[in-house]
Structure 1
Amino acid sequence: MTSSTPRRTVLAAALAAAAGTAAAGPATAAGPGCAASDCPADGAGRGHVPAAGLVDNRFWSSYTDWRCGTTAGTKAVAGLRPGLTLATPAGRVDYTDPHTGRTAAWEYATWTSPVHTPAVPATEVIASWNAATPPGTWLQVELSGTYSDGTATPWYVMGRWAAGDGDIRRTSVDDQTDGKSTVWTDTFAIDDAASGLRLSAYRLRLTLYRTPGSALTPTVWRLGAMASDIPDRFTVPASEPGLDHELLVPRYSQNTHVGQYPEYDNGGEAWCSPTSSQMIVEYWGRRPSAEQLAWVNPSFADPQVCHAARYTYDHQYQGCGNWPFNAAYAATYPDMNAAVTRLRSLTELESLIRAGIPAITSQSFRKEELTGAGYGTSGHLMTVIGFTATGDVIANDPASPTNEAVRRVYRRQEWENIWLRTKRYDANGKVRGGTGGVCYLFWPVKSAPSQHRALQALGLV
């Protein structure tokens, strides 16, 4: 059984020509009151510490961060959770939603990050964000960068997102390429990494939209990206076990939802990502309200899994496995942070588990490559919740027949290899890609000191 659609399948359908009509005007003004002395040098301070080697995380989330971007109509808001809001519209634009055909006018404002030079000249970049988008609002995230040959990328759309689905359909954008790089759903990638070309610097642009004439605004608390240069590899060296610990994470099976709401990626059989996301959301004590779940058929068990599928669904990808959309969904719950990143080893994952932070990991494998799984998959998400005394991986695997069967123990070396490799052979002997250690991490805004230290070591806070 394949429990998820392939994560890096080239999508044939093109976005309607309206995609270009939503592009906001250029950011033109420095943040109000932002003197150069107020802004830390890029690469220093909160959220700026790169994970050593291969991976670089850079996230903007502090009041100083928001004031030091380049703005056109946005405003930094101080407080326990600093954010960015739409203050004075920079303009108005018509957006035709390619998934509904509806055209509507929107006011917009923009914020553009300082240029970030990652410690790792990158072959891939994945952006993620945490925000609230009340009805009548939405946002767009874009990336632009400089190649190692000195030329520039275009502005690439990394996602058009709203927490709900009444105003726009959240969507990735297909057919974005300049012949040197391409955006595959949620991932910027150098087309030919073997050429030596890399992305040496980048910036992100955030556009906030609202209903014209209203006082509505999205609020963005966190925006950033993971840049990486993971070498091509079919196998990875085994790490030494270093932890015997298991977290008590709720268990949900995606397969108990087979046939439910097929409009969202053909139903539960493909819901590995939102099912995993919901497990960790509830681990942290958050869950949708009865009012939020009222749309779900009352005869369905675990309606919150259906809810997670609906509100992570990417209407262009036609699936629930868009990585940043899952992180953004988790962050819609009160005082939750979320990010998409890469880890380099199970040792790093052990440090998170030790601190009480479970992780959602992405992997693909043939049936015989993961003892005890009972299936093969071209792309699958599961939740790592601990390690046995011998170092084997304890995972809540949603590709299980019942909730009770979700907890699995997988052999350490097998699991580490299928997660961290970037190349693999499929059942027909053809070379396919691997995810190279991709994971989602969710954690509370008010986290324990040990959790803060574990995340800080990865450059996430």
Structure 2
Amino acid sequence: MSDAQPAPATPPAPATAAVSAPTPSVVELHVTKGAAGWSEGVHEGTTARTGPRAALVPGRPSSTLERRDARGAEQRWRSARWTSPEQRLTVPATELVVSWNADVPRGCWVRVEVRATRSDGPRTPWYPVADWAATDEDIAPASAEPARDDATAMDTDTLAVRADAAAGGVRLTAFRVRLTLCRRPGARAAPAVRRLAVMASAVPDRDAPPPSPPGEASGVELAVPPLSQYAHEGRYPHYNGGGAAWCSPASLRMVLAAFGRHPERSALAWVEPGHDDPDVCHAARRTFDHRWGGCGNWPFNTAHAASYRDMNAVVTRLESLTAAEGLLAAGLPLITSQSFEEGELPGAGYATAGHLMVLSGFTADGDVVAHDPAGRSRGTVRRVYPRRAFETVWLRTTRRRADGSAGTGSGGICYVLWPEEADARRLRALARVGVG
């Protein structure tokens, strides 16, 4: 679930060499986009917008619903709904994470729900995922209250098979997503969902993922501006306690800035004069989950990233540092999610139950260059972490806490951001990890 913040090509093998079978992937990313993708499914007042900005948009709204607005007042909203076709999974999954890219102007918001088919026969309920808007002026964007059935649970941003059911063999074999597009009565503006991504995975329980050798990104370091979350310590404590918990929005701002995306000056007018890096405060406010109470809701972060001009973003898992190297070699930094005890990641100097940082490069020897927002100043944000230690704390799913109790790991969760103007090399690198 969400983080608990508080080179040259390898030459071909000789024809006579034995070639081992590739390891089956345990991660699938299903993406809906384009006019053709949005034309499928069940439309109840929605339609597919064609052209270069293809999206799911309201047509003639079919109904209304009631929801409190940002001031807490009951408000009736015009709504239109789309339900995806059922998507079968190649590899039955234990987790689903839904993310979306949408243009949501003032007066509008989007509701996201997901339902899965279980391997033992039943379907899950329609689990609410989130009510999301690009700002907090119309609604307070929020994930749904945790919910469960006898084998699965929806918590903040992840639909998962519960541990006891997973041990008994229950898996998720298919899913559908439902989107409800809402706007104030009389509003001329309308929401438009450009991309819907569902990451399904069946990462095995592991405390030590297989090691990977240095690869094509050895010696590659991308130009990422350093930003420290601790520059904002104590600021705006109503957003998850202030900057000390803002690793996710600080990491997001580093990557967006690397791609030349910055908030409009008018969007920063609420930040007190004299604050360093007011864009980090802005990102914290825009990623804050008003139900969960944190800035680390994974799809809220990618949705905010994609609200910038011609930006795309998804939540996915990568299965190795080798996969990450392909993206870095093409000029695409990653934002990775990891948890560890002090000393498990040499050079970090802290422990965390969940932390985001930017994977920005690799040394010539294959160690990881990270822009870690836990650095207390800009000058200490750039770090070099040992390759094996980094891939362990990022890719594992289980761990042992300092007190001896069992903890969890993200299993390779990351945010992948890329600009619409991505060149052919970047697009090929994205396609190799199932992102497009």
TM-score between the two structures when normalised by the length of structure 2: 0.93
Match of 1:227 among 196, 200, 204: 200
Post-superposition shift, 1:334? 0.3
1:277-297 Cα offsets, whole Å, 9 max, x none, are 011111111100111111101
Asked if 1:57 corresponds to 2:16, the answer is no
1:149 is aligned to: 120
Q: 1: CA distance between counterparts of 2:72 and 2:107?
A: 17
Match of 1:92 among 64, 86, 91: 64
| Structure 2 residue matching 1:249: 3-state secondary structure | coil
Match of 2:255 among 280, 296, 316: 280
Q: How does 1:41-190 map to 2 (within 5 A)?
A: 53-96=25-68, 100-190=71-161
Q: 2: CA distance between counterparts of 1:85 and 1:117?
A: 25
Asked if 1:254 corresponds to 2:229, the answer is yes
Q: 2: CA distance between counterparts of 1:91 and 1:347?
A: 48
| Structure 2 unmatched runs, 5+ | 7-22
1:453 is aligned to: 428
Match of 1:198 among 158, 164, 171: 171
Q: Is the 8 A contact 1:366 1:377 kept in 2?
A: yes
Match of 2:404 among 429, 434, 453: 429
Asked if 1:385 corresponds to 2:343, the answer is no
2:274 is aligned to: 299
Post-superposition shift, 1:446? 2.3
Q: Is the 8 A contact 1:204 1:224 kept in 2?
A: no
Q: 2: CA distance between counterparts of 1:107 and 1:128?
A: 23
Q: 2: CA distance between counterparts of 1:441 and 1:314?
A: 20
| Structure 1 residue matching 2:167: 3-state secondary structure | helix
Q: 1: CA distance between counterparts of 2:433 and 2:91?
A: 14
Q: Is the 8 A contact 2:3 2:337 kept in 1?
A: no
Q: Is the 8 A contact 1:395 1:408 kept in 2?
A: yes
Amino acid at match of 1:77: R
1:420 is aligned to: 395
Q: Is the 8 A contact 2:83 2:179 kept in 1?
A: yes
Q: Is the 8 A contact 1:343 1:439 kept in 2?
A: yes
1:340-390 Cα offsets, whole Å, 9 max, x none, are 000000000000000100000000001110101011111100000000011
Q: Is the 8 A contact 1:5 1:270 kept in 2?
A: no
| Structure 2 residue matching 1:174: 3-state secondary structure | coil
Q: Is the 8 A contact 2:4 2:296 kept in 1?
A: no
Higher mean C-alpha deviation, range 346-355 or range 443-452: 443-452
1:28 is aligned to: none
Q: Is the 8 A contact 1:275 1:305 kept in 2?
A: yes
Match of 2:374 among 399, 403, 418: 399
Post-superposition shift, 1:216? 2.4
Q: 2: CA distance between counterparts of 1:69 and 1:250?
A: 42
Amino acid at match of 1:64: A
TM-score between the two structures when normalised by the length of structure 1: 0.88
Q: 1: CA distance between counterparts of 2:63 and 2:108?
A: 15
2:185 is aligned to: 212
Q: 2: CA distance between counterparts of 1:120 and 1:341?
A: 16
Post-superposition shift, 1:52? 5.3
1:89-133 Cα offsets, whole Å, 9 max, x none, are 110111135x75321000100111111112221100000000111
| Structure 1 residue matching 2:117: 3-state secondary structure | strand
Amino acid at match of 1:204: V
Structure 1 residues 61, 5: closer, same or farther in 2, change over 3 A?
closer
Q: 2: CA distance between counterparts of 1:329 and 1:158?
A: 16
| Structure 2 residue matching 1:367: 3-state secondary structure | coil
Q: 2: CA distance between counterparts of 1:336 and 1:330?
A: 7
| Structure 1 unmatched runs, 5+ | 10-50
Q: How does 1:311-322 map to 2 (within 5 A)?
A: 311-322=286-297
| Structure 1 residue matching 2:289: 3-state secondary structure | coil
Q: Is the 8 A contact 1:76 1:85 kept in 2?
A: yes
1:136-183 Cα offsets, whole Å, 9 max, x none, are 100011101110011111001111100010111000112311121111
1:330 is aligned to: 305
| Structure 2 residue matching 1:432: 3-state secondary structure | strand
| Structure 2 residue matching 1:121: 3-state secondary structure | strand
Q: 2: CA distance between counterparts of 1:118 and 1:184?
A: 21
Q: 2: CA distance between counterparts of 1:116 and 1:188?
A: 15
Higher mean C-alpha deviation, range 344-353 or range 71-80: 71-80
Structure 1 residues 265, 5: closer, same or farther in 2, change over 3 A?
farther
Amino acid at match of 2:367: D
| Count of residues paired in the alignment | 415
Q: 2: CA distance between counterparts of 1:295 and 1:319?
A: 20
Structure 1 residues 5, 62: closer, same or farther in 2, change over 3 A?
closer
2:4 is aligned to: 6
Amino acid at match of 2:359: V
Amino acid at match of 2:382: R
Post-superposition shift, 1:195? 1.4
Structure 1 residues 100, 213: closer, same or farther in 2, change over 3 A?
closer
Q: 2: CA distance between counterparts of 1:328 and 1:347?
A: 26
Q: Is the 8 A contact 1:340 1:441 kept in 2?
A: yes
1:215-270 Cα offsets, whole Å, 9 max, x none, are 32101100121000000011112100012200001110001100011010000000
Amino acid at match of 1:56: E
1:271-316 Cα offsets, whole Å, 9 max, x none, are 0000000111111111001111111011100000000000000011
Amino acid at match of 1:226: M
Amino acid at match of 2:211: A
Higher mean C-alpha deviation, range 449-458 or range 301-310: 449-458
